[in-house]
Structure formats: structure tokens, C-alpha cells
Amino acid sequence: MKSQYKLFVLFMILLCVNTYCQKHTADSLSKLIETLNGERKVDAINELADIYYYIDTKKSIEYAEQGLRIAYSINYQKGIAANYGTLGFSYVNVDNQKAIEYTNKALEIRYRINDKPGQGNSLNMLGVIHYYTGDYLIAIDYHIKALKIREEVGDEFAIATSYNHIALVLIALENYDTAMEYLKKALTLVIKTKDEAGTGIINDNIGRIYERKGDFRKANEYFSRSLKINKEIGNLKSEANSCFNIAEVYKDMKDTANAIKYYKYAADIYSRLDEKNGIANVENGIAKIYKMAGLTDQAILHASIALKNAQLINSLVNISSAADILQGEYSKMGDYKNAYSYMEIYVKAKDSLINIDKIKRLSKKEYDYRVETMKKEQDSRLEKQKLFIYILSLTIVLLVVIFILIFFSYRQKKVSNERLNALNLRLKELNSTKDRFFSIIAHDLKSPFLGLMGYSQILSEDYTQLQEGEKKIYIGNIHELTKSTYKLLENLLEWSRLQTGKIEFNPELCNIYEVLYQTLDLLAKTAENKRISIENLIDKNLTVKADKHMLQTVVRNLISNSVKFTKPNGHISVKTEKKANNIHISIQDDGVGMNKTTINTLFRIDKTTSTKGTVNEEGTGLGLLLCKEMIELHNGKIWADSEEGKGSIFYISLPNE
């Protein structure tokens, strides 16, 4: 007995700890409420009332009434409905008539303001109340109405609650298999929504089915699991229910010591919550054990407490059970007066229970009839649907065949048109390429040779008559013309090789600084002739996968362009930068710049124009086309940014693979 006492004390300590957690939350919310006003205050008070429902029913009612007064004072309809709903919830099994009255008031307002979630809650609560009063068909009707609304809203937490309550009615109607299906669906949802309180309640109800089926080991497993969850979250009312259920199992297993321990554990919580139905259940359970043990005084004491609480809420089952124990125990003592009075109470309650049992059986038959009727109607609808689906499927197949034929015909035509358009575009490009090629040969290649012929003729015919200075100028001009002509030929050959696909593309991982250093060094010497400086800002550690020869050609052309369009004493900078998955190379000058029209034609073969440099350097525009095609071979991009009179920046972007 000492070890049992210690265990009971330990349970009480754990109970207090859990209660403290809930109380702490409630106290924090109470302090917060003092800082709020208006609708926010009403909502917070209602939330506080909900918390107290599980730990102190009287306080829950007090807070709901306070919230109701404030909601009325500011005409906050949703708040009025919410607090009526909480009052209805709080009065269940305390005063069921009041519970129905308040819940109906909440439902009326929620219909008026079209509060769908609230309607579901009120309908569900009416189902719960009618379940406790034994009106099972009415109860299940309310629960199904609530479920439909909750499915429409999509609230999985609320849907799980409806599944659970439908299962409770089915358990009462002894339809255990269907009840288990609903409970398993509910359990899946509460686990998904992480609803610990719901998980505890549903485990309890699954245990109840196993208990009804006589599988006490399985029942105790689910009840114990539920108790653990309810203790952890401090849900006192559900914790008491779990303890009561465990006690019932131990009583059925003839383990009276454990049964008494869990009955007392549940009784302590029910008493503090003033849960009269729970108190009556527990006290009747204890009285039965003492009756079997022959402890008459103890049996009478606990049966009297059970009867008193049962009569307050008209719980016929508990009234009948308590009165039966009392009349039997008083008969043993020879107190026939009391025995007779309790026998009268017992007979009256029993007669009512017999009627209720008849109603219950009728309800079950009516429920089974409804289910069977619904099943037949559903089968009939399914047959019609099958026929409709067959006809619809046949129609769809025919339409699909027609659509496929039309689609393939359209696709073939579209592919042909796309090929034709591509060929036309390619033909235009080839024509532009041809025109540009002959333009370069006819004009840009011809002009330097005319210059060379002129200077060489002067030197040939008048060499002896010319001054040394004049000779140097003519020879220098010949040298410059030769250089520019060579550069033109070089670009022309590179470009023609690209057009015919004869150029080799050999990308490899290379250090940008090492690839471009020599090119920049050579160009710097060329730029010195115009007194232009080239600044090397290339990161020495950056690498890129590229064709070295092409990269050198591109940068050489771009810097040559910058030199061409930069005035003497100008400045050019070459910089690299890593951006996300790309390497950027930029060539910036402080030259003459370009307008937007010129920028838009830079890389187009059909729009390319030649512009003279700052000291009349000649060009063809072919170098930029060459750059564009080489960069595109790398899956990169090339573009320019410029403003007249402020210089230009040419950008190259290469993938950093």
C-alpha cells in the first residue's frame, strides 16, 4: 500500500506541473489582456476562456461572460458568437440545457455574419451535446453538417475533430468497424497538423473500441499513450478521461489496486474542473470495487457522491448505477427504508434507460437503414455515371483522334514554315555576307592599294627631287597602309573561315592574364604612337575555358578599335571581374563615344558602317563582326555601352565552367 501511495503522490506532482504550464500560459495572456482594447481584447479573453476550459471550468465561464459583455458593448458580432460558443462548450456535462442554449445563440449569429468556420464549430458542439444526452441520430446529423462545412473551408484540424465525434456516435451505436475507420482518418490528420491534444483524444477513443471488444491489453496500450500526451501538454480534462478509461480496464481485469489508483487520480481532476459527469463515472467505479470487496461504508460513500453529481446533470446511466449500489448496500445493513427509496430511484432511471436503449436500438436500425438507402442510391448513381463516363470516354477518344490529326497536320505545316523561314533568314544572311564581302574587296581592300600605288609612284618618279623629310613621310605612310591592309586581310581571312566552318575551335582552361598579357604589351607599343596609355587591370588568378587564339583576336580587335577612336593623350583600361557563373572582360576608353543608333548597328552585318578614327584611321567594321561570332562560339555575349563625347566600354561575358 505504501508503494501505491508514493506512486499516487508522484502522479499528483506531475499533475501540478502540467497544470502550472497551462496556468503560466493563462497568466501571461491575462497580463497581455490588460494592455489591449476593442476587438483584440475580446479575442484574447475568448482565447483565455478556451485555455481555462481544460484546467478550471468556472474560470472559463467567467472569462467567456466577461468577453461577451465587452463584445456587446462594441457590437463585435464575431466576438459575441465566439464567447457564446465557449460558454456552450464550458457548460457541456455541467448544465447541458445551458450548453444547447448558448451554442444555438452562437450558431444563429454565425449564420447571420456568414462565419463558416464558426458554423462548423457550433454544429459540431450541438452534435457533442446530443451525443451526451443519447440523441445519437440528431448528434450524427449535426456532425455530418459540420463536416461538410469544414471540408468546404479546408480546415484539416476541424475535419479531424468531426471524424472523431462521428466515431464516438458510431461507438455508442456499436458500429465499431466504421468508427475505427473514422478514427484512423482523424489520427492521420491530427498527426499531420501536429495537434497533440487531438492525438491524445483519438488514442483514447481507439482504446475505447478495443475495450468494448474485450481486448484489454490493446485498450490499455492506447489509453496509456493518450495519458502520456495529455500529461505532457497539460490537458487536464482529457488527462482525467484517460485515467478513468485506464481504471475501467484494470477493473475489468480484476486489478482493483490499480483501478482505485487511476480512479482517484481522475477524481481529483474532475473535482477541480467541476465536471459532474466525470465525477459520477469515477465515483460509481470506485463504489463498485468497494462493493465487491465487501466495504459497505466506502461503497455507500462513493455511490452517494456519484448519485448527487449524476442527478445534477440527469445522467441516467450514472443515476441507475449509483442507486442500484446504494439500495443493495442499505439492504445488507438492514436499512430497508433507505434501500426502498434508492430502489425507487433505480427503477425510475432503469425504466428511462430501457426506453433509451430501445431508442438507441431504433436509432441504430434507422442509421443502418439510412446507410443502406444511401448505398443503394449511390450504386444507382454510380451505374448512371459509368454509362455517362463510357459515352463521354468514347466521345473524348474520337475528339482526341480528330485533334491529333489536326495537330499533326498543323505541326507539319508549322515545321515546314519554320524551315522555310529559317532558310529565308539564312539566305538573307548569306546575301548580306556576300554583299559585305564584295564591298570590302571592292572598296576597303582597293583603297589601301590605291594609296600604296600613289606613294610608290611619287617615290619612283621624283625620288631624287624629294627632300629627306618628305621621303620619310611617304615611306611612313606606305608602312601604315601596309599594316592596315594586312590587318584587314587577316580579319577577312578569319571571318571567311568562320563563315565556312573551317576554323578550329579548341577551348581549354586557361589563365586570362597569361593569354592576354603579350597581346596587351604589343598593343601598348602601338598605342604609344598616339600617346595613348593602356592600363592592365586583369586579375592574375582568374581562369576561363576558352580558345586562346580567338580570345586574343577578340581583345586585339576591341583594343585596336579603342585606340582608333581615342584622341592623343587618352587612356584605355582592360579589366576582368567574376560575376556569378560568368567571367566579364571590359575594355574602356575615354574616346569619342557613340550614339544609340550606332551602338545598335555595331554587331550587324547588314548595317555595319566604317568610321574614320581620331587621326583619320581607316576601318571596315569587320573586326566587331568577327568578335561577335567568336564569342558566340564560346556561348558567351558581347555588347557595348557608350555616350557621345564620353568614351565607350565593350563587354565580353564568358561562361565560368
pLDDT per position as a tens digit, 618-645: 555 667 877 888 888 889 999 999 988 8
Residue-wise pLDDT for 383-439, tens only, equals 777 777 878 788 888 888 887 888 787 778 777 778 878 777 766 765 665 555 555
Provide the phi-psi class of 569: left if phi over 0, else alpha when psi is between -120 and 50, else beta. left
Strands 543-546 and 508-511: antiparallel
Give pLDDT, residue 586: 94
Q: What was the pLDDT predicted at 78?
A: 92
What local confidence, expressed as pLDDT, does residue 33 receive? 80
**CATH annotation of 504-655:** 3.30.565.10
Query: Does residue 75 sit in helix, strand or coil?
Result: coil
Does 349 have pLDDT greater than 70? yes
The closest of 628, 626, 642 to 489, measured between CA atoms, is 626
Q: How many CB atoms lie within 10 A of CB 543?
A: 15
In the predicted model, what is the mean pLDDT of residues 574-598? 90
92-117 average pLDDT score: 90
Q: What is the tens place of the pLDDT at every residue in 301-347?
A: 999 999 999 888 888 888 888 989 999 899 888 888 888 888 888 88
Percent of the chain's residues with pLDDT above 70: 80
| Tens digits of residue pLDDT in 266-307 | 999 888 888 888 899 999 999 999 999 899 999 999 999 999
Q: Is the pLDDT of residue 442 over 60?
A: no
Which H helix or E strand runs over 649?
A: strand 647-655
Cα 503 to Cα 494: distance, rounded to the nearest angstrom: 8
At residue 469 the predicted structure's pLDDT band, cuts being 50, 70 and 90, is: confident
Q: Report, as an integer, the average pLDDT of 138-142.
A: 87
Q: Give the pLDDT of residue 112.
A: 94
88 close to 103: Cβ distance less than 8 angstroms: yes
The mean pLDDT value for 90-104 works out to 88
Cα separation, 307 vs 348, whole angstroms: 14
Q: Is the pLDDT of residue 234 over 90?
A: no
pTM of structure:
0.46
Residue labelled with grid coordinates 584611321 = 617
Share of the chain above pLDDT 90, in %: 21
- Range 190-207 average pLDDT: 86
pLDDT of residue 117: 92
In the chain, list all ranges with CATH 3.30.565.10.
Answer: 504-655
Q: What is the pLDDT of residue 605?
A: 64
